[in-house]
Structure 1
Amino acid sequence: MKNFIITVVFIVTTSISFAQSDPETAGPLTDMEIVRKVAFLDIERKSYENVVISFKSVTPDYLISDKYRVKVKVLDENGKSIYKKTFRNVFLYVFSDGQVQVGQPTGKKRVLTK
């Protein structure tokens, strides 16, 4: 019985450790939109409550633009746009712990963390 418990604990801990994403190995999302409801948000030293934030990654079409982009849009509870910004030459990353990052592959820019 003791060996069975040790085996179950070992299987659970190894599966959890492999399920977590590492920023060095996580790949960027392309042509994807992430929408989150946020209770409290601070943008450029201004606070907002009960907002919806969306991240939309855009793949270049090589006709008009040749750079990857991420569009960030924040709406208040009435649907009014509070903040809109397009980041150029960056990627959208979403990790298994719920963390969302917008940045270059080296991780220099960070927009939203858990």
Structure 2
Amino acid sequence: MLRDFFLGFIKIHVLHHAAQEPIYGVAMIAELARHGYNLSPGTLYPLLHSLTEQGYLTRTERIVDGRIRKYYIITDEGRVALHEAKRKIAELVQEVLEDEQGGGPSPTPPM
């Protein structure tokens, strides 16, 4: 179950960075590692392909140092999904932190 949660976080992280500038696999692996997500190319590239197939990213190719590098850019559909994810994340974090800090609703006593 944790793997599913983390993959969701990673997808949001990828969309976030793709909204800021074109991204590519090796750079995203390094960026995600900075946040404690140690992904192999065998995990990240299928995720990028999936987000592309779902219409959240688009892919372009550029030649860098004589090799083809695939860059991913967020689409309008991806921006909508990212916006909705951010809204839901903010709501969830606020609720969870309120409960942890004792500011949330009182638990209902058992009957």
Taking structure 1 as the reference length, what is the TM-score of the superposition? 0.22
Q: Highest CA radius of gyration, 1 or 2?
A: 1
| Structure having the larger proportion of residues in strand | 1
Structure showing greater relative contact order (alpha-carbon pairs closer than 8 Å, 6 or more residues apart): 2
| Structure having the larger proportion of residues in helix | 2
Taking structure 2 as the reference length, what is the TM-score of the superposition? 0.23
